[in-house]
Amino acid sequence: MTEIMTPTCIEMKNVHKAFGSKVVLDGFDLEIKKGESVVIIGGSGSGKSVSLKSILGLLTPDSGDITIDGKSVLSMSGSAREKLNNRVGMLFQNAALFDSLNVWENVSFALMEGEKLPRKKAKEIAIEKLSLVGLSPEVANMSPAELSGGMRKRVGLARAIAHEPDIIFFDEPTTGLDPIMGHVIDDLITHCVKTLGASALTITHDMASARRIADRVTMLYQGKNIWTGPVDQLDDSGNPYVHQFINGLAEGPIELDISR
């Protein structure tokens, strides 16, 4: 029973978040152990990105608690948060590359600003990270505006892992990529978790990808987790919502607001 011994890395307890009258998170719970890869699935607009941003401190929950390594991050001071962020890597859903910087400056941003690496060394590392996500060195000097959507996503991914963080968040890492590249990225994520020992939280709509990278899967529906379990129990979860979602069935308990 080694699993019980593994310390918790991130924990969200009973988190609520509403925008105006729109309730997005309504008692959301999540636990990620050290070195574990957890995937959140759920419908579009269900609040997956909001839950990630709450952990990162970009949004403040209305109530509930979020801890990282046992310390509450909601009451954390700005400088403590900055220190914590040195260990964190985040891929935004839209990549959020800095368009005033070129590709390699984006990738090595944390290395140059945080670890004060000289530019020459930082560029070498950036090119190496770009090759991990299947981008050639020529891309390094391009500006983000010159890239395709999938390339931007991969640059964002390279930036998220460049400083070798031990907590990684990926918001739809394989969306917009072709299936082969998607597979390469999945392997990279698995490599980060298995080889580098990072804890990872990934949002994805790509069920094939979820099966490859997840240790555990949790499903978000109407602000709560309606099912959480090991990835190999995904198919016989016994939960009709999960069953409908992972098989993409039009018929089932999940109702989309597209009638009328």
Ligand X SMILES: Nc1ncnc2c1ncn2[C@@H]1O[C@H](COP(=O)(O)OP(=O)(O)OP(=O)(O)O)[C@@H](O)[C@H]1O
Q: Is there binding between residue 49 and Mg ion (CB under 5 A)?
A: yes
Q: Is there binding between residue 254 and ligand X (CB under 6 A)?
A: no
Using CA atoms, how far apart are residues 17 and 13, in angstroms rounded to an integer?
12
Cβ proximity to ligand X: between 17 and 159 the closer is 17
**In the stretch 42-61, what mask flags binding to ligand X with x, by CB under 6 A?**
x-xxxxxxx-----------
Using CA atoms, how far apart are residues 70 and 76, in angstroms rounded to an integer?
12
**In the stretch 134-173, what mask flags binding to Mg ion with x, by CB under 5 A?**
----------------------------------------
Phi, psi angles (nearest 5°) of residue 82: -60, -40
Cβ proximity to other proteins: between 125 and 246 the closer is 125
Q: Which residues contact 18 (CB under 8 A, 6 or more apart)?
A: 24, 25, 62
| CB crowding 226-257: b at 16 or more within 10 Å, else e | bbbbebeebeebebebbbebbeeeeeeebeee
Given a contact cutoff of 8 angstroms between Cβ atoms, the answer to whether 174 and 186 are in contact is yes
Other beta carbons within 10 Å of 71: 11
Phi, psi angles (nearest 5°) of residue 257: -85, 55
Cβ proximity to other proteins: between 63 and 86 the closer is 86
Output the smallest distance, CB 44 to other proteins, in A.
18
195 binds, among other proteins, ligand X, Mg ion, none (CB under 5 to 8 A by kind): none
Q: Is there binding between residue 209 and Mg ion (CB under 5 A)?
A: no
Total count of residues recorded for the chain = 260
Cβ proximity to Mg ion: between 172 and 186 the closer is 172
Task: Name the token pair of 6.
Answer: 């593994």
Given a contact cutoff of 8 angstroms between Cβ atoms, the answer to whether 242 and 219 are in contact is yes
Q: Is there binding between residue 98 and other proteins (CB under 8 A)?
A: yes
**In the stretch 75-94, what mask flags binding to ligand X with x, by CB under 6 A?**
------------------x-
Site for other proteins in 50-79 (CB under 8 A): 53, 56-58, 78
Q: In terms of DSSP bridges, do strands 8-19 and 63-68 run parallel, antiparallel, or are they unpaired? A: antiparallel
Using CA atoms, how far apart are residues 126 and 83, in angstroms rounded to an integer?
22
Which one of 90, 103, 157, 254 is in contact with other proteins (CB under 8 A)? Answer: 90
Closest residue by beta carbon to Mg ion: 49
Q: Is there binding between residue 244 and other proteins (CB under 8 A)?
A: no
Output the smallest distance, CB 171 to Mg ion, in A.
6
Q: Per-residue DSSP letters for 189-209?
A: HHHHHHTT--EEEEE-S-HHH
Cβ proximity to ligand X: between 52 and 193 the closer is 52
Residues that bind other proteins (CB under 8 A): 53, 56-58, 78, 82-83, 85-86, 88-90, 92, 94, 96-100, 109-110, 113-114, 159
Residues that bind Mg ion (CB under 5 A): 49, 93
Residues that bind ligand X (CB under 6 A): 19, 24, 42, 44-50, 93
